[in-house]
Amino acid sequence: MLPKRYKLPLGSYQPKTPKVLRYPHCMVKITENGLSYSRFGVVVGTRVYPRAVDRNHIKRSIFSSIRLENLHLIPGFDIAIIILRAVDNLGSKDGFSQVLRDLKKSL
């Protein structure tokens, strides 16, 4: 699990002009934050996954992938990942690997 320090408070997150990466199943918004570490937030709506168990599983899987790839150690970015539609293997490392590769390149 990703430590709380690296989680983006999405309730107060208002990006001014984010860089947006679009995928068929998700959208990633990247803004600079001026901190010595990056913060991540994951949004999974109830229309995408109606059950809270499924939404939390997806979030935990994505945060775990971020931690394993050490993306949170890259300084200075706020990254919001918005899941747009349900995908069977999105929670697995393989299902999210393209997004992680593109994040590494763009940061």
Under-70 pLDDT residues of the chain: 89-95
pLDDT computed for residue 65 by the predictor: 84
pLDDT computed for residue 89 by the predictor: 65
pLDDT digits (tens, 9 = 90+) for 38-60: 899 999 999 988 999 988 988 88
pLDDT computed for residue 51 by the predictor: 93
Q: Is 70 exposed, middle or buried (0-12, 13-18, 19+ CB in 10 A)?
A: exposed
